[in-house]
């Protein structure tokens, strides 16, 4: 039963991203985007997938790092965090609408979006992604799993944010700089 609930939650939270990526690959020229992206999309994919592999391996290789506090509650909290992360990410993507891409890419006549979740943080889709992966780590109920999954993704997102903000500053100029000044937090309101 737990496995079914977990897979269903992953499908609900992450399924829209997977479907969007399949559709994008069919219609988008990726060469131009990859020039701005500097491999950050690949870094996110490798650290996200690698973190999950290490996280699952840690369950079996490091059972002494298991979180022993009420496993059924830990599972429920993990599922809730995963689903909240999916909702935050979906809200961010829908707010950006046609400007959202999985690579760093500037659209012709692109505007700076500062509504919806972009009022509070600069990169709410990454906040949602971190919540999704944190939820997976909590479901695995192993300290090493959480650190491997979330830690790798934080490193990848910090790399991506630097590239993205530099590119948007260069391409969008003053309007984007005003957005940076108005919205000082990158991922977590009042933290960073």
CATH number, domain with residue 74? 1.20.120.1630
pLDDT of residue 31 exceeding 50: no
Is 8 contained in some domain? no
Query: Which range among 82-91, 127-136, 183-192 shows the weakest confidence by mean pLDDT?
Result: 183-192
Report how far residue 128's alpha carbon sits from residue 81's, in angstroms, rounded to the nearest whole number.
Answer: 9
Residue 31 within a domain = no
What percent of the chain lies above the pLDDT cut of 70?
94
pTM, 2 dp? 0.86
Q: Which of 8-17, 94-103, 133-142, 143-152 has the lowest average pLDDT? A: 94-103
In a domain, residue 35? The reply is no
Please tell me the distance from the alpha carbon of residue 88 to that of residue 126, in angstroms, as a whole number: 9
pLDDT at 145: 95
Structural domain contains residue 33: no
Q: Which domain holds residue 100?
A: 40-182
Residue 32 counted as domain residue? no
Per-residue pLDDT tens for 74-109? 999 999 999 999 999 999 999 988 888 777 878 788
Strand-pair partners of 126 = none
State mean pLDDT over 123-133.
Answer: 96
Would residue 187 count as lying in a domain?
no
pLDDT score recorded for residue 25 = 66
> What angle (nearest 5°) sits at the alpha carbon of residue 101, between those of residues 97 and 102?
140
Residue 190 lies in a domain: no
pLDDT value at residue 127: 97
Residue 88 and residue 124: Cα distance in Å, rounded? Answer: 7
**167 neighbors 99 (Cβ within 8 angstroms):** no
Pick from 19-23, 123-127, 161-165: least confident:
19-23
> What is the residue-averaged pLDDT of the chain?
88
**66 lies in a domain?**
yes
The domain tally of the chain equals: 1
Q: Does the pLDDT value for residue 34 go beyond 60?
A: no
């Amino acid at each position: 039963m737990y496995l079914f609930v977990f897979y269903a939650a992953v499908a609900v939270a992450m399924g829209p991203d997977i479907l969007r990526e399949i559709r994008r690959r069919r219609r988008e020229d990726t060469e131009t985007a990859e020039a701005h992206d500097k491999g950050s999309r690949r870094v996110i994919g490798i650290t996200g997938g690698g973190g999950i592999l290490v996280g699952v391996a840690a369950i079996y290789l490091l059972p002494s790092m298991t979180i022993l506090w009420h496993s059924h509650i830990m599972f429920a909290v993990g599922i809730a965090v995963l689903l909240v992360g999916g909702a935050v990410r979906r809200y961010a993507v829908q707010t950006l609408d046609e400007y959202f891409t999985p690579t760093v890419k500037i659209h012709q006549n692109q505007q700076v979006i500062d509504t919806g979740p972009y009022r509070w943080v600069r990169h709410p889709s990454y906040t949602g992604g971190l919540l999704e992966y944190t939820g997976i780590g909590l479901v695995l109920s192993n300290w090493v799993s959480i650190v491997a999954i979330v830690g790798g993704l934080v490193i990848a997102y910090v790399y991506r944010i630097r590239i993205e903000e530099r590119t948007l500053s260069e391409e969008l100029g003053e309007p984007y700089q005003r957005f940076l000044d108005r919205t000082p937090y990158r991922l977590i309101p009042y933290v960073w």
